[in-house]
């Protein structure tokens, strides 16, 4: 697989990464651990070198899974994880408390190092901006960890351009991770110009619209109560029905290219900028192979324009997060 550098940093990763959250949490019940380890190994064998996790996924168990699965490949892969929540096992309201105090960051970094079985965290994201802690203090804490050799690169997630700029002035930000896809194009206006100016890489999560752009979800799809999409306004039955027009467009475009809708959605992201590295998640080998096949789908500038012009005429319905999570993004 081709490699890409995240912005102006020296962090080189595979053009497509693997988001590991759904293996342990959020998209329904946790999957079998050994099956997920096999899936991660298959990703490595097919050229993936960039793996995404976070302490709050599970919580804690996803880092343990990724650490165990990638232990044989130390030095050959890049692991990104995140801090910024009070991640308490057994706490049903695990997303309720942000904590980016410097002393907390340094404490949980040590714990993540142990779970990931590494000596240094390759890319350490602030998971959500904590308004109770100046971003300069957060960046300073990560800078200390970098100077100590415990972290290699600093990242941010779902932060505003203004906040990224402030953090970058203290400790260079290697990558911003935020939702970005044909299903959610707001970053093109809000953050991407700043990322390009500052030489910061962009790591889109949910590049397949939380599965919607695969064409495998429709108005009749039933979500398990443990699947967070069951609480997302954009995924209400009524909104899925309204938003099907976008999926139909992607399906039609994919048919012209003789590829799958998911491959078109990912190829579009890869064609946008050379410093964009999407991290689609999956728990199935067939889906992994399908997603990785997107790297070989070539879209011309004319293809990209045609896709964007057609999709921009479709009005999408529903917020992408519940009310609580909506307040945590773009800070």
Annotated catalytic, 180?
A: no
CA distance 283 to 107: 31
> Cβ–Cβ contacts within 10 Å for residue 36, how many?
21
Catalytic-role residue among 57, 124, 125, 180 = 57
CA distance 268 to 198: 23
| CA proximity to 205, closest of 125, 265, 277 | 277
CA distance 133 to 123: 21
Alpha helix ranges (H) inside 181-312: 187-190, 192-198, 237-257, 261-272, 285-292, 301-312
Residue 205 phi, psi (nearest 5): -95, 165
3-state secondary structure of 158: coil
Catalytically active residues, by annotation = 57
């Amino acid at each position: 697989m081709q490699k890409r550098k995240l912005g102006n940093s020296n962090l080189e990763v595979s053009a497509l990464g693997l988001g590991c959250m759904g293996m342990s949490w959020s998209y329904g019940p946790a999957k079998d651990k050994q099956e997920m380890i096999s899936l991660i190994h298959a990703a490595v064998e097919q050229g993936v070198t960039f793996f995404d996790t976070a302490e709050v996924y599970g919580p804690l168990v996803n880092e343990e899974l990724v650490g165990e699965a990638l232990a044989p490949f130390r030095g050959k892969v890049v692991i990104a994880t995140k801090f910024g929540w009070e991640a308490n096992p057994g706490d049903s309201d695990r997303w309720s408390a942000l904590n980016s105090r410097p002393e907390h960051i340094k404490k949980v970094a040590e714990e993540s190092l142990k779970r990931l079985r590494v000596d240094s965290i390759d890319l350490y994201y602030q998971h959500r901006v904590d308004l109770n802690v100046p971003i300069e203090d957060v960046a300073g804490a990560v800078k200390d960890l970098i100077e100590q050799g415990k972290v290699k690169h600093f990242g941010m997630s779902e932060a505003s351009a203004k906040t990224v700029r402030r953090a970058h002035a203290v400790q260079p930000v290697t990558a911003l991770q935020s939702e970005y896809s044909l299903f959610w194009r707001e970053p093109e206006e809000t953050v991407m110009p700043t990322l390009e100016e500052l030489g910061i890489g962009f790591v889109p999560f949910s590049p397949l619209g939380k599965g919607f752009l695969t064409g495998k979800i429709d108005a009749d799809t039933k979500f398990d109560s443990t699947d967070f999409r069951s609480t997302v306004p954009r995924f209400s039955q009524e909104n899925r029905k309204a938003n099907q027009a976008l999926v139909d467009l992607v399906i039609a475009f994919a048919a012209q290219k003789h590829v799958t809708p998911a491959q078109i959605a990912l190829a579009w992201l890869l064609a946008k900028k050379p410093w964009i590295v999407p991290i689609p998640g999956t728990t199935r080998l067939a889906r992994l192979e399908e997603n990785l096949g997107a790297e070989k789908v070539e879209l011309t500038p004319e293809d990209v324009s045609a896709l964007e012009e057609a999709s921009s005429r479709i009005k999408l319905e529903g917020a992408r997060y519940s009310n609580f999570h909506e307040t945590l993004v773009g800070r």
